[in-house]
Structure 1
Amino acid sequence: MRREELVDLNAFLTVAEEQSFTRAAAKLGTSQSSLSHTIRRLETRLGVRLLTRTTRSVAPTEAGERLLGTLRPALDSIGSELTSLSDLRDKPAGTIRITTSEHATTSVLWPALEAFLPHYPDIHVELSVNSSFTDIVTERFDAGVRLGEAIAKDMIAVRIGPALRMIVVGAPSYFAKYPIPQTPHDLADHQCLNFRLPTSGALYAWEMAKDGRELRVRVDGPLVFNNISMVMRAALAGFGLGFVMEDQVKAQLSDGSLIAVLGDWCPTFPGYHLYYPSRRQPSAAFALLVDALRYRG
């Protein structure tokens, strides 16, 4: 394969993944017109249309999807080999891209990175913080961080944090007006703070369990958020009951500004795990980071 053919294929892959000539051109450091010429040249050489262009988006054709299925693993393999060359250097180096959630970042990732990175100045880490599930292979991340129960079976998963627990909390001002619930069924008579899931757009059903009995409780109340920090603020202000991570409200529970209820219905569950494809060939930098993140509690 000639060098320019590899360049053309990389250009096609970038446009397909970005679904935009503008974003792809910026990522590749070229002009939009030059990139369009490159794609037309590739399509002419192959004799098939690879991309469908509209005024708003770009999407691969059937032929384009077939080519993507071949290109992604091939270029990923090349990328892994290039990254592994850093093993030959005196110091581990490279950029590691991780997709993660806000809570995982603040509670697990950042404390570990704060201690790790000063010892390895040639290792760079990019964190993409969002609450939606991301295909780390398609989006070309080196790894992702999610709860252990949410990781696909074909991934290698490394535990990086302790077990977690969701709890029901309310402010003293709220309980001055409403009785303390004794069972999850009592929540139907309470003002509850709803959370809208960023992945599906549905309202989160509170997951509770006791003595092997599991419940998914649909709650109702005056406010809906897509941000847990706002759920906590509204609970502190007495607007209703919130269902939040216990470690996020540790200080408020200690000083009495929030009160936990239904504790016997709030069990622990597997905490955060770092996950990555089983076929990935870890570089020295990646292996060091995984070891630094590994939970040893």
Structure 2
Amino acid sequence: MKPHSLSDLDAFLAVARHRNFRRAARERGVSASTLSQAVRDLEEATGMRLLHRTTRSVTPTEAGQRLVDSLTPAMAAVTQALDGLDQYRGTAFGTLRLNVPGIVARVVLPDILGPFLAAHPGVRVEVEEENAFVDVFAAGFDAGVRYEEALAQDVVAVPMGPRVQRYLLAASPAHIAQHGLPQHPTDLLSRPCLRQSFPGGALLPWEFECDGEGVKLNPSGPLVASNSHLLTGAAMDGLGWIYTFAELLAPHIAAGELVEALPDWSLRFSGPYLYYSSRRHVPGPLRALVEWLRNR
């Protein structure tokens, strides 16, 4: 026998419990004829009579009573399982899985996760660092964080972190003492530069802007690496110029380990966005983070 619908099984139990189609129908908010059809469909599927029906009474047959005895605890378990979902409905409870680029993990999330988790003790956040452009939903994440140019058109995006960021060009004092400061971005074409690589080996061009003039370069140098720590260390060792997020270099500039150049040419861009796939049935932990970011 093929499985029958839970609705028909529950309808049969309601009639068997009340021993009356009309009372069972009132309880379920349907017509007596609807319940009668549901029971007939169940009897058709099982190939046996489950209820004795007369004008004055409705009682289970022997087979019907056995089905009642078996179904009652099973349906109670189903109800309990569905009720258990209530803790996720409208509450911040459960695990939130985020996929974020390295820069966000380093300079944005530290200022966000502490206060957010303190305000939502029922939430557990799992963060995976990923610089490649991947389908985070297919990979099992609840949401991702990316910059505006990497966002798909069909996602819901919420601003996250600083609304304006910029790149910063810097080198060590020793390197500048030996080679001098560039006066224009194009001067970097004849200077050693430290380039960051991305998944697949891609090298993004260095972009500069000043007073409406834009410059895009692909300088070369002694080191190409995907790790920003390695590149920053190489810059402090005097190996060349580095051009990356200002937040990564600011502590080293403040400490005198690096010196900024061409500040008027620094490229400015909007900060990162938290994005997710739909406004419907948003999991409680994700909804809590979205609301927290908007209120913040």
Give TM-score scaled by structure 2 length: 0.67
Contact kept? 1:168, 1:241, Cα under 8 Å: yes
- Cross-structure match for 2:190: 189
Task: Name the residue aligned to 2:253.
Answer: 253
CA offsets 1:149-183 (integer angstroms, 9 cap, x no match): 32111111100111110111000010111021111
Instruction: Tell me, yes or no, if the aligned pair for 2:88 and 2:94 is still in contact at 8 Å.
Output: no
Shift in alpha-carbon separation, 1:295–1:187, aligned structure 2, 3 A: farther
**RMSD after superposition:** 2.4
Q: How far 1:134 moved relative to its partner?
A: 1.8
- Using the alignment, how far apart are the partners of 2:177 and 2:236 within structure 1? 13
In structure 2, distance between residues paired with 1:83 and 1:192: 58
| Separation in structure 1 between the aligned mates of residue 180 and residue 202 of structure 2, nearest angstrom | 28
Give 3-state SS (helix, strand or coil) of 2:275's partner.
strand
Unmatched 5+ stretches in structure 2: 5-81
- Residue number in structure 2 paired with 1:169: 170
Matched letter for residue 287 of structure 1: R
Cα distance 1:101–1:84, how it changes in 2: closer, same or farther (>3 A)? farther
The residue identity in structure 1 corresponding to 2:159 is R
The aligned runs of 1:230-241 (5 Å cut-off) are 230-241=230-241
TM-superposed deviation, 1:119: 3.4
Tell whether the 8 Å contact from 1:84 to 1:282 is kept in structure 2 after alignment. no
Q: CA deviation at 1:191?
A: 0.7
Structure 1 Cα separation of the partners of residues 83 and 223 of structure 2? 50
1:270 CA drift (Å): 0.5
Taking structure 1 as the reference length, the TM-score comes to 0.67
Q: Which has the greater radius of gyration?
A: 2
Shift in alpha-carbon separation, 1:156–1:84, aligned structure 2, 3 A? farther
Cα distance in 2, alignment partners of residues 277 and 201 from structure 1:
29
- Whether the 8 Å CA contact 1:99–1:134 is kept in 2: the answer is no
- Check whether the contact 1:102–1:130 (CA below 8 A) recurs between aligned residues: yes
C-alpha displacement of 1:258? 0.7
Percent sequence identity is 33
Unaligned runs of 5+ in 1: 4-80
The amino acid across from 1:250 in the alignment is A
Give 1:137 shift. 2.4
The yes-or-no answer on 1:215 pairing with 2:211 is: no
Structural mapping, 1:68-217, within 5 Å: 85-88=86-89, 92-162=92-162, 163-198=164-199, 200-217=200-217
In structure 2, the residue corresponding to 1:132 is in which secondary structure?
coil
CA contact under 8 A between 2:209 and 2:215: conserved in structure 1? Answer: yes
- C-alpha distance in structure 1 between counterparts of 2:122 and 2:155, whole Å: 27
